[in-house]
Amino acid sequence: MKVRINRALISVSDKSGITDLAGDLVKMGVEIISTGGTYNKIKEAGISIHKVDEVTGFPEMMEGRVKTLHPAVHGGILADRKKESHMKEIESAGILPIDMVVVNLYPFKETVSAPDVRYEDAVENIDIGGPTMIRSAAKNHESVAVVVDPSDYSKILEEMQENGAALSTETLYRLAVKAFQHTCEYDSVIFDYLYGRIDNYSDTEINIRPGLKIETGISEGYAGRYKDDSGGFKKDIVLSFTKIQDLRYGENPHQKASYYSSLPSNAGSLVNARQLQGKELSYNNILDTNAAFQIVKEFKEPCVAVIKHNNPCGAAMGSSVAEAYKKAYECDPVSAFGSIVASNMRWTAEAAEFLSDKYVEVLIAPEFDGEALKIHSDKKNLRILNIGFDVESNVSRLQKKDFTTNAVDIKSVDGGILVQELDEGIDNRDKFRVVTRKKPTDQQWEDLIFGWQIAKNVKSNAIVLVKGMATVGVGAGQMSRIDAARIAIDKSSGRCNKSVLASDAFLPFKDVVDMAADSGIVSIIQPGGSVRDEEVIEACNDRGISMIFTGKRHFRH
């Protein structure tokens, strides 16, 4: 079955290809109605066209806010051609059917992507008439063609030219599906932008829907794209992302890949980092850079992480960024070859000098000294990213007692996705419990807490050894905890003596304690919760090791 197109309404924000489309439609005997700037562009091309106010009998109102919201337009679009009563009603009202709607929407996404966008400009770019016409046409798709993508113009014209200005019902259906996808994504971006500004109304209670109250600011049970009024995840989640770029390939050369961002996204997000130098980022670069910056962003003092294959081969804090980098690098210099380096503070010339003779894939920091960039300028393969990140405000947010993350971790599985809260935030030392007779010293406490923060960023099973606020050994991604401990100790090359050990999950047996004691490790931090906790505690007491239970696990698969 085919539908002959006799009358088309065209109103587009993106006017690419529109005069060619209109000209070819007119050649096939299609009458065209249009609005505002679209009308002017088509008219200037010498193409026969009618203004929409000739159809409605009303001029555009309120600076264009009201122009197509009229029965003469929507009656012509929505009339069901199969129902005699519908056709009689529009005939008696003097309404002519509209068989094609060509509409694309105000550039809301592009508008709010601008770093200095004004709220008033964002609101003015919320399209009303456009989505209404698209939905009307898509609902009546058995009789009406709805076209939202300029890349479809040539295919539609080709089919119409082959079929006497008609389109098949299969084409109409596919166009309708695409149209609903278009309006769904459009509304999703608007929601994200408006919800992202909700903290601007910190003294206001907002009821988004019956039974759902948002107390603005950071609070328990936040609502939004992912969560419902109970603080649990919603029954249905709509995801909307925009492509940043196509990548050369994915994890391996035979896999295609692209890079997307959600809108709006925070200034301190990786997707908003500016590349200052180097060749294009790869899929693996992006994953590892994200993992590296996730570590350093939670610390208030200078912190540097060195990442390889999504695991830290070194992380440290220091009195300066240069000192932190040196300490992090020294944890595992062999693995640091071809690594990703992240700093939570301004990258200095001193740090740049230390990096200058090392092979690093990506360097990311909130700021860079001019001299540091000059030092790196001859390393053409070094990708340098400047991320707009404020350490003070982020750490303050993470330290709030009522902190509940609004960020989520999404992983794909066959036929679906898994969604969980992001494991971020600084664990409260007040909830930790010393379970051994021996107590950690003040320095050991600092190392234990640092190691605990690093352990949550290491693939499970994870063991992290720390001394002097720097990792000295990391055992990652092992099937047994004793193997992870053995790897961490071996990688320390003896520096584990007088270090502390952090384990991302409980110690199921006392074997890790015995190995730690034999290697000179003086204190352990772990969640606790094993059926053999008492046996593990007693082993620590026997070997003179202090141990802390956190009551919280940090698996990372």
Is 491 designated active site? no
Integer Rg of the chain from CA: 30
Output the six-digit token pair for 340.
């990703």
| 107 three-state secondary structure | coil
If we measure between CA atoms, which residue out of 69, 100, 75, 101 comes closest to residue 88?
Answer: 75
486-491 long-range contacts (CB < 8 A, ≥24 apart) are 486/515, 487/463, 488/463, 488/464, 489/465, 489/515, 489/516, 489/519, 491/331, 491/332
* Selected catalytic residue, list 50, 139, 178, 234: 139
Closest CA relative to residue 484, chosen from 509, 503, 456: 503
CA distances from 372 to 301, 347, 379, 554 (A): 20, 7, 12, 36
**Catalytic residue status for 309:** yes
Beta bridge partners of 408: 421
Distance of CA 523 to the CA centre of its chain: 38
Among 51, 309, 358, 438, the active-site one is 309
SS3 assignment, position 157: helix
Report the alpha-carbon distance of residue 31 to residue 314 in Å, rounded.
Answer: 68
**Active site residues per annotation:** 139, 309
